[in-house]
Chain A
């Protein structure tokens, strides 16, 4: 069956460290994968998109990698700050390319 998993429900790290979040999928062949940030009580907000032919994408302190062989994406936040505390969701288009399917999310807490 098709599945998207994110490494852990919650992740606590110290301010200034690099946070690494994992997204694994099975039985999908996505042309691209996206990462979103969601703050409590709000809708998700788009952060980054990476295509299957791209190994890595960067935006300021964010870095995303995409390994279609491992069926995995890694999301890194360098020099993390308490303001980065939020839930991060990965999403990919289903095999029909019509819908986005979201992972369960990882709740990141950056401790001062």
Chain B
């Protein structure tokens, strides 16, 4: 069974803290994504990566960075957490999209910044 695992399900962090959200996939997928999901705004792409050490900005990259040192692992970093980054964060992976492959999501990480 395919699996995308997010390291933390629930986190509470203080404003200004550095936050790491980790994601691991076991499907040998090339592409990995980080989304955030907020009520009324839907899923918004933060960053994606199509290969090791490669990254591309999505729609809302400000305040975030990412790291992909190994194919199976994609980390989202909040350099200095702010309250407007309180959200549900979803990691996903897929094979190369042009062939119509599906995207697999993790269970989500609920981050609260106080």
Contacts and interface: CB of A to CB of B under 8 A. Distances in A.
Contacts of A42: 107-108
Residue among B33, B40, B92, B97 with the highest chain A CB neighbour number at 10 A:
B97
B77 interface: no
B97 A97 contact: yes
Q: How large is the interface on B (under 10, 10 to 19, 20 to 34, 35 or more residues)?
A: 20 to 34
A43 B9 CA distance: 11
Nearest to A34: B102
Interface stretch (A20-28, A45-53, A78-86): A45-53
20 contacts: A31-B100, A34-B103, A42-B107, A42-B108, A43-B92, A43-B106, A43-B107, A43-B108, A44-B105, A46-B102, A46-B104, A49-B100, A89-B43, A97-B97, A98-B31, A98-B97, A100-B45, A100-B103, A101-B45, A102-B42
Closest 4 CB pairs of A and B: A43-B105, A104-B42, A102-B43, A46-B102
